Structure 1
């Protein structure tokens, strides 16, 4: 006989779970008791949003579901921010939510919520476990659903009386690995489409990739001399130093790459949903109008034809298809050789630093950091104009080096960095965060200290919500409203938490500050104070305002 919390913990161990993230609550005390002697690390966080982002980052890094425990009501709603990231980023995740006792339902008891309704459109599956003896069944299904097709989050609500009840029930074995189903007909169809192309472009994205998949992509691209573009915040899917890498289709993308996307006569889309960011708000590619031929490879058949009509749709995991295509004979003399060389030249020119005003120049700092860090260093970030410097000037050298939200969630970078450091303690983990972005989850600094996650956070301080200010200046030039910030001393804040903190006022000071932060042996913050005029890699406040005034007048 075991109580439900012990059954749950035993089932997680069988599924191979080594670490969970949580903020404790009285609604799942039995689960906490089950974890007590389970051997599963419980990373206790300070707020459910940060905990959810840590779990999501774990799923992104490993390809296995990140596991999250939160309490009912406010705990669950706080966690929604990270669950939304998992949804939009196609990241496997299993969320356990404490729930009121079953006998109190439908009376709006303390913190009562209907989690099927709350998370019904945000999760792949949301359910409530009513019977203790069905816990193994529900948990098995949760892990299957989280990883099947297009991966994503699953939410299971656990009534507290169900969880504390005793039961004798057998465990179920772990989720079995799925077998790829790539056919010769599918491979032949892709080859036939390539044979008639003159300006092909490979577009990669989605989830479920690996180091082997990245190598297969390089082999395939090199053998056929194909240009490869990564979608938003998937830049680590291919070594950026590779001669076939052409840049990223993200926010603030290279205008020449945007034009190349429009000029392509064949798009080989591997894993990506080909959403609004990659297509410039559906303006570079319009799903309502005929355009380039599209070969769309995605594990979920429901995604094929959902937005863009593919000329060839293949419902398999992109890495599984690549494993076969990578062995194709070389076509080094392909008709598009000049097209590929030009794509690479455009990317290299785009990476040349464009000087920004002020004593601290982020373009110089990011390029220096890119050259300083060895292969395997992990870069995380949240959302904000500061991230454009990372996208444009950092060279990602291998798979797993970029952990960032395609959903554009602020506050993500710091909890993601903590999760990455716990998973890869011997690798440097660097977080870029804006002043507004960092303050959304900086309370997790004590989580980092408690669990020995010695990350380095570069807080880019421009005293404003920069992205919103940029759009504000374009749309309502000169009418500043709701975008200025009064900030703390971030370096002092880090020290108050027991970490290392420094402030950088010139680019020349950054190198020494970074080396000291890396050697500190505790989590560290380097506050970088930007000229308030800087908005992004290419625009200042004055230039953006002038652009807005011209558009209006």
Structure 2
């Protein structure tokens, strides 16, 4: 008998599938995204038994399930969980796990495996992989197998501890097909608690404070690790009168209308005279891989919970600590008061760069229209597209997590699926997904998921009938030898309507703003198509990855890249 049963000694029994469901609930999970399959029937039965506490959102593709869990976690800070069948289901969702790993996001994949006695034997069983556990371990922080229902609670709790400790990231748990339905006595679920953060090294803090005392023009760069450290970052920036910036994941740690904040394009202008870089919870890809040029005599302080970061990019001084704790310790170690106000100087830099930003058309005008329509506390989900690229420097954000990005994996097609998870995690907030036509078609089938579950995301499809970046590169660098970059598309409005999703078309920015305002008021899934002339978008790369000072051309900065 599945579920709760009674053995000869009258002990209550429950299946491994039920234990996994109860274990997830005990660890704060309220939603699981996924697709049922033969291997996971007993797991799904466990989810059904706990349906009053655990919502199951079924999707139309495993990648969609993974990205919805990613969006849920990235926007809320709470773990996102999805369940798929083993083998092809795991591989289909693998892109989302890669994204979660690259974007430091707590996502859990709950999957099955073939019958326990056949694992590793190569008998060609349904959905068999040569070594699924090793495959999962290669793209997560950790993956484990539940070999018996008695270990379900401890395994699940252990993975929550691993997922939430230190630098956050994805994990996976697999259970063999036959084990899901096996029973063991009912027990209290275990809760995985994050391990304690590293203690701050006072000598490192003292050394960092000494560097600050010598610095004339410091810059603070924040990343994912700083999303819970806004107060500390703000106080440090005020004490130092330093500018604060981020490429993507740290957008919103300071609001875009705060005096110290510079968008990434303006920050490069400021960067030219920086003598001290302070990275807080950031990989520092922006200065060292995107800008690819550094000022002479630059010193670097890093505050990061991951000690490996101090090896990947060795700073002058590295403080291994939680972002908020490490930054607070640094503030307390500083001598003297607040430096002279530099807000006028930063305002002048923003004004100087604004004319260059205005030249990135039509993207910037459309992004401004979206910002005007989106409530201040709304969520903007980017995509690997011309609008998404420009949004990294041209879309203002006012609080942490409200700018949802894929991080360095740059996964084409993550956006719409991710936005659905964002909305599930934040049902009372407006969520807009900004896609290109190419990326949107990776997850177009999830329009059905949005309609069936009433997920009121507004997706804007900017339709330029191309993989825009590829088309531009082939035109500029390959003399117009186009291959695989031009796209024939459906009528997106009619397509959305066929799914039961409301749809509109907007042909210019002012019209988009009005349509967006109406779409948000409807509180139902909405698609808006914006036709764009193929190849008409200005390249955003001159502002994303600008040439080094004194050089010219889109590749000039590579000349100063240090190994």
TM-score, normalised relative to structure 2:
0.87
Match of residue 18 from structure 1: 30
- Indicate yes or no: 2:458 matched with 1:441: no
Residues 148 and 538 of structure 1, relative CA distance in 2, 3 Å threshold: closer
Counterpart among 55, 59, 67 of residue 73 in structure 2: 59
Shift in Å at residue 341 of structure 1?
A: 4.9
Shift in Å at residue 14 of structure 1?
A: 1.0
Q: Which runs of 5+ in 1 are unaligned?
A: 249-253, 541-546
Match of residue 267 from structure 1: 277
Match of residue 225 from structure 1: 241
Match of residue 289 from structure 2: 280
Counterpart among 405, 408, 411 of residue 409 in structure 1: 411
Residues 57 and 539 of structure 1, relative CA distance in 2, 3 Å threshold: closer
Counterpart among 8, 14, 20 of residue 2 in structure 1: 14
TM-score, normalised relative to structure 1:
0.88
Match of residue 364 from structure 1: 365
- Indicate yes or no: 2:306 matched with 1:300: yes
**Contact 1:417–1:431 at 8 Å: present in 2 too?**
yes
1-side partners of 2:336 and 2:522: how far apart? 49
- Indicate yes or no: 2:334 matched with 1:333: no
Q: How does 1:451-530 map to 2 (within 5 A)?
A: 451-530=453-532
**Contact 1:133–1:169 at 8 Å: present in 2 too?**
no
2-side partners of 1:137 and 1:266: how far apart? 46
2-side partners of 1:487 and 1:329: how far apart? 61
Residues 207 and 21 of structure 1, relative CA distance in 2, 3 Å threshold: farther
**Contact 1:376–1:401 at 8 Å: present in 2 too?**
yes
Cα shift readout 1:206-256 (whole Å, capped 9, x = no counterpart)? 34623xx223322221232111121334312220111111222xxxxx2x6
Q: How many residues align?
A: 525
2-side partners of 1:348 and 1:55: how far apart? 39
**Contact 1:297–1:317 at 8 Å: present in 2 too?**
yes
Match of residue 194 from structure 1: 212
1-side partners of 2:514 and 2:499: how far apart? 22
Residues 208 and 506 of structure 1, relative CA distance in 2, 3 Å threshold: closer
Match of residue 84 from structure 1: 98
Give the secondary structure class of the aligned counterpart of 2:262.
strand
**Contact 1:266–1:295 at 8 Å: present in 2 too?**
yes
Counterpart among 18, 29, 34 of residue 41 in structure 2: 29
Q: Which runs of 5+ in 2 are unaligned?
A: 1-12, 543-552, 557-563
2-side partners of 1:372 and 1:299: how far apart? 37
Q: How does 1:145-184 map to 2 (within 5 A)?
A: 145-168=162-185, 170-180=187-197, 181-182=199-200, 184=202
Match of residue 374 from structure 1: 375
RMSD: 2.6
**Contact 1:262–1:284 at 8 Å: present in 2 too?**
no
- Indicate yes or no: 2:212 matched with 1:206: no
**Contact 2:386–2:468 at 8 Å: present in 1 too?**
yes
Match of residue 117 from structure 1: 134
2-side partners of 1:258 and 1:390: how far apart? 16
Match of residue 251 from structure 1: none
Match of residue 215 from structure 1: 231
**Contact 1:384–1:437 at 8 Å: present in 2 too?**
yes
Shift in Å at residue 374 of structure 1?
A: 2.8
Give the secondary structure class of the aligned counterpart of 2:93.
helix
1-side partners of 2:73 and 2:458: how far apart? 21
Shift in Å at residue 264 of structure 1?
A: 2.1
Counterpart among 69, 85, 89 of residue 71 in structure 1: 85
Give the secondary structure class of the aligned counterpart of 1:151.
coil
Give the secondary structure class of the aligned counterpart of 1:386.
helix
- Indicate yes or no: 2:327 matched with 1:318: no
2-side partners of 1:77 and 1:367: how far apart? 38
Give the secondary structure class of the aligned counterpart of 1:20.
strand
**Contact 2:363–2:537 at 8 Å: present in 1 too?**
no
Give the secondary structure class of the aligned counterpart of 1:447.
helix
Shift in Å at residue 471 of structure 1?
A: 2.5
Residues 67 and 461 of structure 1, relative CA distance in 2, 3 Å threshold: same
**Contact 1:500–1:520 at 8 Å: present in 2 too?**
no
Shift in Å at residue 521 of structure 1?
A: 3.4
2-side partners of 1:147 and 1:202: how far apart? 25
Counterpart among 19, 32, 43 of residue 57 in structure 2: 43
